[in-house]
Amino acid sequence: MSLRIRTAQLNFVVGDLSGNAAKILDAARIAHADGIDLLLTPELSICGYAAEDLFLRPGFVAACVDAVERLAVQLAEFDGLTVVVGHPVGGDDRSRSVTRSRRFNAASVLRGGQIAHRYAKRELPNYQVFDERRYFVGGDAPCVFEAGTGEHRMRVGLLICEDAWHDYPANESLAAGAELLAVINASPFHVGKGGEREAAMRERVKATGLPLVYAHLVGGQDEVVFEGRSFALDAQGATVARAVGFRECDFDVALSRSAANGWVVRGVVEPQADADADLWDALVLGVRDYVGKNGFPGVLIGLSGGIDSALVLAIAVDALGAERVRAVMMPSPYTADISWIDARDMASRLRVRYDEISILPEFEAFKQSLMPLFEGRGEDATEENLQARIRGTMLMALSNKFGSIVLTTGNKSEMATGYCTLYGDMAGGFAVIKDLVKTTVFRLARWRNAHDPYGRGRNPIPERIIVRPPSAELRPDQKDQDSLPPYEVLDAILERYMEQDQGIDALVAQGFAPADVEKVTRLIKINEYKRRQAPVGIRVTHRSFGKDWRYPITNRFRA
């Protein structure tokens, strides 16, 4: 016999209280039938994470508490099962367990048809994408509850996400008699975050001597992705169980008493994926959930024959299937023959609907209309941007007519430097690769050609698309590197300056050419106004242009 704990690693929808509660109830029904003693659900599972300013609406918080109370009654039939559910509480809701004027990120322990315990998160993160102090105040007491029966009854210390990254919440749980730490979480993905989590939890285990179960959320929510990959550590800090990443699952851990070693923790350890596999899975899940949860029938992509739109097309097909993806090639007078040849080739490989619409008539009409106003001025970036804006208009017209969302194809290097056109290639609803620098775009394209994680076939991207010098093709013989430093240099400066907050002098001291540093950092600063008008997109680094980056548009600081 052993104590059996299950994490319901589920994909919830923000604001769908009845749907989320139904998922938890279904998971509990199955868990009870399987003989599970304790079912853990992720942080804020009843309302989804993160509900942002919905938390400021008293009616929303009250509805969440009502949903938890109804769920507790429904769970009464599952004798012997304890369920932990995350939800907001406080403010103007009707709960008597907290001060009426305060709002908490909480979790309730449901057993026997009642709310047996309630815990308020104590450490509130306010960095990167987190903004919890805007919505909540911290709790002030540990929560230790019993789960299981007989000799395998265990005292469980409950923590919520950030609590476990600090010493005192776990230490106070230990002092209150906890024999296990159960940590429920909604921790957004970025490359390398899985290893960081396990390392941080290992420190908690070493400090307390308690085994730990980490129950994590899975799914995409606007710009963030949660990869699941729940895990368990034994009392020595070894990883003894790990769930799959990027999909829903039931993650089980068994604990049994041993006279020699205390509690023995057992489970299945899924292997960690490499960084590029994680990146791909995160992008696919982000697209699938944004499109699916918002009810779009499909997606539209402006396919140029270049690497960025090719990568976005491959991601979209892996996420949605070819039948929900439509590619449109819109050649201009400067589009090379190989661009539309390669675009046709890729569309054929992935079996998506493919259309070609020449923008030459519209381009000439715009120039003709503007000629009297432009008299005496030569052609410049204005005419280049006209082409991009015509394409954006075409795509948005198709979106309006058919209901599909336009996926934009700009990468992080372009978004950083403004190498993109407002109301042109920035026009659309979801920016799939806005957090991938250009060098990562190339690497990930090669990774996808070598792997087939979703059964759509290998080599979806023609080799020539990968090896061709990047070009916007808005003027004759144009190349990206005519206007920008080599991407290896640009991306290295971008990472240090934007993601790591290194200064200009430090970058020059590291050997970067002063002219390159000045150019890249200046472009980052002066193009903030463009980024504020860009569509939301998927965050995959620890600092993206979005919630992580709040830079003033009007600003004269130049260090």
Query: Which positions are annotated as active-site residues?
Result: 43, 121, 161
Give the pair of three-digit tokens for residue 416: 């950083």
Give the pair of three-digit tokens for residue 504: 């200009």
- Contact, 28 vs 81, CB < 8 A? yes
493 — phi, psi (to 5°)? -65, -45
Q: Can you tell me the distance from the alpha carbon of 24 to that of 373, in angstroms, rounded to the nearest whole number? A: 63
Give one DSSP letter per residue of 27-58, joined into a string. HHHHHHHTT-SEEE--TTTTT-S--GGGGG-H
Q: Can you tell me the distance from the alpha carbon of 342 to that of 340, in angstroms, rounded to the nearest whole number? A: 5
Q: How many residues does the chain have?
A: 559
Strand partners, 181: 157, 212
Q: Can you tell me the distance from the alpha carbon of 4 to that of 458, in angstroms, rounded to the nearest whole number? A: 41
Neighbours of 473 (CB within 10 A): 21
- Contact, 16 vs 189, CB < 8 A? no
Q: For the purposes of burial, counting CB atoms within 10 Å of the CB of 202, is it exposed (0-12), middle (13-18) or buried (19 or more)?
A: middle
DSSP β-ladder status, 144-147 and 154-160: antiparallel
Q: Write the single-letter amino acid at 376.
A: G
Neighbours of 274 (CB within 10 A): 9
HEC string of 498-514 equals HHCCCCHHHHHHCCCCH
For the four alpha carbons of 432, 436, 438 and 444, in that order, the dihedral sign comes to negative
HSE (CB half, 13 Å, CA atoms) of 446?
A: 7
Q: Write the single-letter amino acid at 63.
A: A
Q: For the purposes of burial, counting CB atoms within 10 Å of the CB of 146, is it exposed (0-12), middle (13-18) or buried (19 or more)?
A: middle
- Contact, 537 vs 546, CB < 8 A? yes
- Contact, 54 vs 32, CB < 8 A? no
For tokens 């979106």, name the residue: 399
245's CB contacts (< 8 A; 6+ apart) are 194, 218, 227, 228, 229, 270, 273, 278, 281
143 — phi, psi (to 5°)? -130, 115
- Contact, 353 vs 326, CB < 8 A? yes
